[in-house]
Amino acid sequence: MVPNISSLSSYILEYQRSCANPTGYWAYVADTFYWRRKYDEVLRWDFEKPEIAWYVNGKLNITENIFERQIYYRRKQVALYWEPNDPGQPARSLTYQELFEATQQFANVLIAQGVRKGDRVAIYMPMVPELVVAMLACARIGAVHSVIFAGFSAQSLAERINDAGARVLITADGGYRGEKTIPIKAIADEAMESTECVERAIVLRRTGESVPMKAGRDYWWHDLKKNAPLVHEAVEVDAEDPLYILYTSGSTGKPKGLVHTTAGYMVYTAHTFRNVFQYEEGDVYFCSADIGWVTGHSYLVYGPLLNGATNVMFEGVPTWPDAGRYWQIIDKYRVNQFYTAPTAIRALMALGMEWLNGKDLGSLKVLGTVGEPINEEAWHWYHDHIGKNKCPIVDTWWQTETGGIMISPLAGIIPTKPSYATLPFVGIQPAIVDDNGNELTGNSVEGNLAIKFPWPGMARTIWGDHERFRHTYFGRFANLYFTGDGVKRDEDGYYRILGRVDDVINVSGHRLGTAEIENAINEHPLVVESAVVAFPHPVKGQGIYAFAICNEFSTGGEAGIRQSVVKTVERIIGPFARPDKVLVVSGLPKTRSGKIMRRILRKIALGEGDDFGDTTTLLDPAVVDEIVTKARAMEAEAG
Ligand code: PRX
């Protein structure tokens, strides 16, 4: 098992050691894994190119490290408790042996469908155990999975499938989320109409609703499984072979397929999971994230399973059938570590205390948050009412790109402070730099967050676009990985994440690019141009405010346009990207060179006064007055 850092003094010592001799440190952690062939060199790197390789020439399979490495003593232990959306439906659980067999069997299914090492497999599924099986089966045969969140629209799904060049799509007839049934297969069918690469769709039966199956392309999971053997020997892969591609938003409209490779990701997710959550043998851990995002990949699937943890996986939403659903699950499975997003905490906090009645949360030892800054009020509510003042909160800062947790308390070891991610994980060397790239040393400084030295879990490239990877992350500041976040280091040396400094916004913990939303809005037939900014939202963290130029209206007038703009975004990206406010305008504040002055739009979205600073560079300053007047009228109308 990976080494455990069990006290503050050992954290301090290990941190120093990991920075003084990073390769020695990461070799020491890596040596707790099973390698088919040991690596020749721990690290080769150059941030200029960039080129990052960990455990050079090492050979392994990550599923051998999940299963064979520990199966003899975990055979009967539960790997996955699965809680269905509807509490009235039967729950399921899979032991390590059962998950191992299901993985091997599905690996054989994939092989029979012609999937080979290096092939990309797209996965568009609800939160059911077969989603985990599908991912692990890909890893077993060296295929590269690309999970696409089941809230994405057909168009977004198609775009990702095409970018990855996936030959196989694994999906389901439908899925349940709260009171809704999501027509997953219908969305997948629509997506497949605009993809040329997908040869096979493997469809899991979840809802049992009848769905069309295209002959020669679509096959039922349960049919293919029938004759597939339960044993499949893992395919040996190189340490740097890709394990998966995961799409995330950037500041341009096109999503980025971040590539994570095998060995470094394995070592990093396992080590961070064990130490940040202080997971102990026998504990039950519950991560509420959807596997469609990186948190689910690293801290529902790989990190916990590599540590032989018992996981709780939940299909549904926190507020259905009522706002006590998470607390009931924690009570039912006697959960020890619970990891969720601040937006969920704020939403549940707003619904009142009554939902905690009768729920025994006494098993909890550690609480975690991820995905966005947690405000002090939510932190205290979580700490006092869920953790009953006895559970440390690990506010974990990291990103799709980082693969694993980067700045966070180690539970019960690093003293917490509300809304602070506190200190870097071992081996992580943060730097705060000003806009010119000068490092701001010492405490009580604020600037851009960058990282000076590679860590094993970092993404290696953007699928098919290494140049974009270079300029986005390594082109901004010489020899540094740039995170896109602003940060403050306080007088104690603690880090507080201040939010994005680029055009990426964070809505309910979902990462979106403003350009991506604008592109979607611009598809509306009556919209000429649009601009999207974020505004503070009490539950979502950030809300989406869209300004849309329309020169003609359909029958519904402005109100009709607003609604249909929202629908357009739902159709093109997915319901989670729905704008909170749409203001129909006749122009946008632009400079003479045509650049939209978002600073002004942000102020308007905030409802802030009339002082917009220097507007002399604007092409048409009068447009600002019109927007302000219309924005106020819209607010008044909304009450
Ligand atoms: O802005 C930071 C915010 O989420 C961004 C990364 O989003 P994504 O790649 O979707 O990954 C989310 C889950 C790891 C970051 O650039 N963020 C993440 N965690 C925190 C956070 N902001 C503040 N505090 C956090 N703990």
Predicted local confidence at residue 200, as pLDDT: 97
- Ligand 1 mean position, distance from CA 91 (Å): 31
Residue 242 has pLDDT above 90, yes or no: yes
- Ligand 1 mean position, distance from CA 89 (Å): 34
Mean pLDDT of 443-463: 98
Mean pLDDT of 385-405: 98
CA–CA dist 466, 368 (Å, integer): 33
Q: Is 300 in the pocket of ligand 1 (CB under 6 A)?
A: no
pLDDT confidence of 130, banded at 50, 70, 90?
very high
Choose which residue among 408, 511, 512, 542 to substitute to test ligand 1 binding: the one with the highest number of ligand atoms within 8 A of its C-beta.
511
Q: CB–CB of 170/121 below 8 Å?
A: yes
For ligand 1, atom 14, name the residue with the nearest CA: 399
DSSP string, 585-611: ES---BBTTS-B-HHHHHHHHHT--S-
Residue 562 has pLDDT above 90, yes or no: yes
How many beta carbons lie within 10 A of that of residue 290, not counting itself? Answer: 21
Predicted local confidence at residue 617, as pLDDT: 82
CA–CA dist 57, 68 (Å, integer): 21
Q: Is 249 in the pocket of ligand 1 (CB under 6 A)?
A: no
**Ligand 1 nearest-atom number relative to CA 484:** 16
Q: Is 290 in the pocket of ligand 1 (CB under 6 A)?
A: no
Q: Is 421 in the pocket of ligand 1 (CB under 6 A)?
A: yes
Residues 6+ apart with CB under 8 A from 618: 589, 590, 591, 592, 597, 624
pLDDT confidence of 135, banded at 50, 70, 90?
very high
The proportion of the chain whose per-residue pLDDT surpasses 70, expressed as a percent, equals 100
- Ligand 1 mean position, distance from CA 502 (Å): 13
Q: Is 269 in the pocket of ligand 1 (CB under 6 A)?
A: no
Predicted local confidence at residue 253, as pLDDT: 80
pTM over 0.85: yes
CA–CA dist 49, 62 (Å, integer): 28
CA–CA dist 120, 145 (Å, integer): 6
pLDDT confidence of 610, banded at 50, 70, 90?
confident
Predicted local confidence at residue 127, as pLDDT: 98
Residue owning tokens 């969305």? 187
CA–CA dist 595, 226 (Å, integer): 59
For ligand 1, atom 21, name the residue with the nearest CA: 372
Residue 554 has pLDDT above 80, yes or no: no
pLDDT digits (tens, 9 = 90+) for 497-541: 999 999 999 999 899 999 999 999 999 999 999 999 999 999 999
**Ligand 1 nearest-atom number relative to CA 500:** 1
CA–CA dist 316, 80 (Å, integer): 16
Name the nearest CA neighbour of 629 among 593, 604, 602, 612: 604
Q: Is 196 exposed, middle or buried (0-12, 13-18, 19+ CB in 10 A)?
A: exposed
Mean pLDDT of 178-199: 97
- Ligand 1 mean position, distance from CA 168 (Å): 30
For ligand 1, atom 10, name the residue with the nearest CA: 511
Q: Give residue 231's Cα distance to chain centre.
A: 32
- Ligand 1 mean position, distance from CA 485 (Å): 9
Q: Is 395 in the pocket of ligand 1 (CB under 6 A)?
A: yes
- Ligand 1 mean position, distance from CA 375 (Å): 14
Q: Give residue 294's Cα distance to chain centre.
A: 3
Choose which residue among 451, 485, 503, 516 to substitute to test ligand 1 binding: the one with the highest number of ligand atoms within 8 A of its C-beta.
485
Q: Rounded mean pLDDT of the chain?
A: 96
Predicted local confidence at residue 579, as pLDDT: 97
CA atoms within a 13 Å half-sphere pointing along the CA-CB vector of 620: 11
- Ligand 1 mean position, distance from CA 397 (Å): 6
Predicted local confidence at residue 608, as pLDDT: 80
Residues 6+ apart with CB under 8 A from 74: 95, 96, 97, 308
End-to-end CA distance of the chain: 57
CA–CA dist 456, 548 (Å, integer): 43
- Both tokens assigned to 367: 């609480």
Print burial letters for 487-521: b (CB count within 10 Å at least 16), e (below 16): bbbeeeebbbbebbbbbbbbbbbbbbbbbbbbbbb
**Are β-strands 284-287 and 337-340 bridged in parallel, bridged antiparallel, or unpaired?**
parallel
**Ligand 1 nearest-atom number relative to CA 401:** 9
Residue 215 has pLDDT above 90, yes or no: yes
pLDDT confidence of 392, banded at 50, 70, 90?
very high
Name the nearest CA neighbour of 483 among 470, 507, 505, 500: 500
Angle 246-249-255 from CA coordinates, rounded to 5°: 70
**Are β-strands 237-238 and 59-60 bridged in parallel, bridged antiparallel, or unpaired?**
antiparallel
Cis peptide before 3 (omega within 30 of 0): no
Residue 552 has pLDDT above 80, yes or no: no
Q: Is 20 exposed, middle or buried (0-12, 13-18, 19+ CB in 10 A)?
A: exposed
Mean pLDDT of 162-174: 98
For ligand 1, atom 15, name the residue with the nearest CA: 399
pLDDT confidence of 257, banded at 50, 70, 90?
very high
